[in-house]
Structure 1
Amino acid sequence: MGLQPIGRRVAAACAVVISGTAMTLLLPGAAAADHTDPPCGPAADACINLSENLSWLMSDGDVTFGPVPVSHGKPGYETPPGVFQMSFKNRDHHSSIYDAPMPYSVFFNGDIAFHEGSVDQQSHGCVRLPHDAARTYFYDLEPGDVVEVVP
């Protein structure tokens, strides 16, 4: 469907599709199919559960988007757990370390970022998101926002 982001926390909005006399409510991300609760505290603006390979966007402890599937650091390049602040974002980032594209990068721990990528492959520490989720995280998160990563 490809809804365009129009503002901060836009992911909380839902889309309605009307077909004939039927109406379908489309929830953001995988929220309609999976009601897993995030394990993060109320201060988190983004939450990552490494053991479940899931992530959410949040506001004041409430889920605004997700859960969405993610992949993260492979052995030797583990994504560290902890509480971090989002530092900057770059729509068309290209890793100079790994010579790899990192679309919709949202950096939160040094060179570790959320970005678009295959959730079927582990990374060098970054948190990979499907395309639509990466766009949502990019447009929703701002420098200073809290990212909590739990094991």
Structure 2
Amino acid sequence: MASPLRITSSRLQRQTCWAAIAALALLSGWVLLDSRAPEPAAAPAPRPVPPPAPVSTAPPAPRTALCPDSARACVDEERRLSWLQHHGEITYGPVRVMPGTDAAPDSVATPRGLFRVEWKDADHVSGEFGDPMNHSVFFAPGGIAFHEGSLDAPSHGCVHLSAVDAALFFDALPVGSEVAVF
């Protein structure tokens, strides 16, 4: 019978093996106990909410034979209103505008009639006056255009729109679109 103090080499190897397994299990347990649950992923940043569509305080656009159904944009100089339409149905507006007038100094009357958009320039500067004409949509001879400008002072013949409306008209009116001014 072997004495309890006598350890054979095979028994020593077994004990060493079991000790190693126990140590690994213990370390694994500590690692498992120490490992924290992953933190939840950060919520995605909220998407910016687009501003509400502009609400026009202008009176409704009149149905008139002066603005034919084929026109994509209409300008009522007397009421200082403009709107966009498609097949005669108003798609935007009416919005306030400031056309040119012969009654004001340093102004020319915006020409009346049926025109077509000839060209556009988002960052145009007037060659004659040196003024910025952002979102210009040129539709009549002499450099007459829809563009961003004062709604309180008459233009030099163009049709001034607010910054928001000028950008919208710029995007909505491709070259060749019909414009009625009356």
TM bracket (short chain): 0.7 to 0.9
3-state SS, counterpart of residue 107 of structure 1: strand
Q: Which runs of 5+ in 1 are unaligned?
A: 5-14, 16-25
Q: Which residue of the partner structure matches residue 64 of structure 1?
A: 91
Q: Structure 1 runs of 4+ off > 2 angstroms?
A: 32-39
Same amino acid, percent of matched pairs: 40
| Residue 41 (structure 1) shift | 1.1
CA distance in structure 2 between the aligned counterparts of 1:133 and 1:67, rounded to whole angstroms: 10
Q: How does 1:14-29 map to 2 (within 5 A)?
A: 28-29=54-55
Q: TM-score, normalised by structure 2?
A: 0.65
3-state SS, counterpart of residue 68 of structure 1: strand
Pick one of 136, 140, 158 that aligns with 1:105. 136
Corresponding pairs, count: 127
CA distance in structure 2 between the aligned counterparts of 1:114 and 1:142, rounded to whole angstroms: 13
Q: TM-score, normalised by structure 1?
A: 0.78
Is the helix fraction higher in 1 or 2? 2
Pick one of 155, 165, 180 that aligns with 1:123. 155
Q: Per-residue CA shift, 1:112-141, capped at 9, x if unaligned?
A: 000001110101100000011001000010
Q: Which residue of the partner structure matches residue 114 of structure 2?
A: 83
Q: Which residue of the partner structure matches residue 22 of structure 2?
A: none
Pick one of 93, 96, 100 that aligns with 2:124. 93
| Residue 74 (structure 1) shift | 2.6
Tell me the C-alpha RMSD between the 2 structures. Answer: 2.0
3-state SS, counterpart of residue 147 of structure 1: strand
Q: Residue 121 of structure 1 aligns to which amino acid in structure 2?
A: A
Equivalent residues of 2:100, 2:109 under 8 A apart = yes
Is the strand fraction higher in 1 or 2? 1
| Residue 34 (structure 1) shift | 3.0
Q: Which residue of the partner structure matches residue 166 of structure 2?
A: 134
Q: Which runs of 5+ in 2 are unaligned?
A: 1-48
